[in-house]
Amino acid sequence: MVTIKMVAERCGLSVGAVSKALNHQPGISPEKAAWVRQVAAEMRYHPNAAARTLKTSRSKNIGIIFENRLIHEFFSEVLEAVRACLTEKNYDMTFLNSRESQGMSYYEHAMQLQCDGVMVVHGRTRGALEELMNSDIPLVTIDHILYGHTAVVSDNADSFRKIIPYLVQMGHRRIAMVHGEDGDVTRLRVAGFHNACRECGLEIPEEYVLEARYHEPKDSGLATRKLLALKEPPTCILYPDDISILGGTTEIERQGLSVPEDICCFGYDGNRLSRLLRPSLATYRQNTERMGRVAAEELIQAIEDTKCYIPRIITVEGAVQPGDSVRQWDRGGKSGEEKQDHELSKE
């Protein structure tokens, strides 16, 4: 490994002088500094991260909290964007784990690694984050708000101000919501849903709102069954995410009905998957790329300009993504007739 000492020897200078040159610090003539940097580059010198960290207590390393298995496409996409941005800015990223076996918390892990900042892409438990929250390590969270820290969130509540009007415009008035398990995000979405419905003048009966865990098609299938069994079933069902829809459609088809002829389905997330499925999914597409990028930029700002940085909550808007799973309901759709049948048979 090539050290600064070797560079110094090669240049016939002291390590101190070389260090200044490398770090663009005053105390060395600009030309000589440039020459030193040239030589260092030729020698493929790169400062030893451990030594630098030890000395400066800054590691150029970001701790990532990502408990929610890498498999969830929404979070994977966000993480990918975070990574792209951090790479650009020359930060590394290391996964943090609260190794309970070792009796080490996230905070302690971050301290041990001297992380310059921590990004919470998805933390399973709130408690595990508390210690971090109260520390002075810069912290940015995604889709989760921790008091006093920057959060990048999708427009969970407001999204329904686009979704519901869209569905209403498509002719739906009996809209049901299958929502995920309780949590920040879920509560916002449910409230946003009710709000938007009220604004559109829709009455949503109690039994139209059901819970099903995120990413558990079986749960959604169950909820769907309950909805279909109602005296007055909905014409359109919202699901907690794009994968959950599959559970819903399976159940619908099992009952001899079909999507979107007999019932329409609307998802959430807008992963690549949603665009590939047949019928293609109508869903709310979150801007994961932007969320990740913004979060990374904020974190770096919080790190590099700590004095001036003011934590804030940044909302990244998504957009309705139309698709085959929602059809025009009342006005002369190609299957307007069929729908009449269905409605009558149910009433």
Partner DNA sequence: TTGTAGGCGTTATCAG
Partner DNA sequence: CTGATAACGCCTACAA
The span from the CA of 183 to the CA of 173, in Å, is 27
The span of 15-23, 62-70, 196-204, 260-268 binding DNA (CB under 7 A) equals: 15-23
> Is 328 a residue that touches DNA (CB under 7 A)?
no
CB of 34 to DNA, least distance (A): 11
Task: Report what 4 binds from a copy of itself, DNA, none; CB cut-off 5-8 Å by kind.
Answer: DNA
Binding mask 69-108 vs a copy of itself (x if CB under 8 A, - otherwise)?
A: xxx-x--xx-xx--x---xx-x-xxxx-x-x-xxxx---x
Task: Report what 90 binds from a copy of itself, DNA, none; CB cut-off 5-8 Å by kind.
Answer: a copy of itself
- Alpha carbon 109 to chain centroid, angstroms: 23
3-state secondary structure 126-175: CHHHHHHHHCCCCEEEECCCCCCCEEEEECCCCCHHHHHHHHHHCCCCCE
Of 34, 41, 229, 313, the one binding a copy of itself by CB under 8 A: 41
> Is 29 a residue that touches DNA (CB under 7 A)?
yes
Sign, Cα dihedral of 116, 117, 121, 127 = positive
> Is 136 a residue that touches DNA (CB under 7 A)?
no
**Residue (13 or 81) nearer to DNA, CB:** 13
Q: Hey, what are 273's tokens? A: 């998957």
**Residue (5 or 69) nearer to DNA, CB:** 5
Of 51, 70, 191, 229, the one binding DNA by CB under 7 A: 51
> Is 44 a residue that touches DNA (CB under 7 A)?
no
Nearest CA-CA partner of 227 in 202, 201, 205: 205
**Residue (26 or 332) nearer to DNA, CB:** 26
> Is 296 a residue that touches a copy of itself (CB under 8 A)?
no
- What separation in angstroms does the CA of 279 have from each of 86, 155, 226? 37, 26, 23
Yes or no: say if 191 and 164 are a contact pair by the CB < 8 Å rule: no
> Is 217 a residue that touches a copy of itself (CB under 8 A)?
yes
Binding site for DNA (CB under 7 A): 1, 3-5, 12-17, 19-20, 22-23, 25-30, 32, 45-48, 51-52, 54-57
Binding site for a copy of itself (CB under 8 A): 1, 41, 44, 46-51, 53-54, 59, 61, 69-71, 73, 76-77, 79-80, 83, 87-88, 90, 92-95, 97, 99, 101-104, 108, 111-114, 217, 243, 246-247, 249-250, 253, 272-273, 276-278
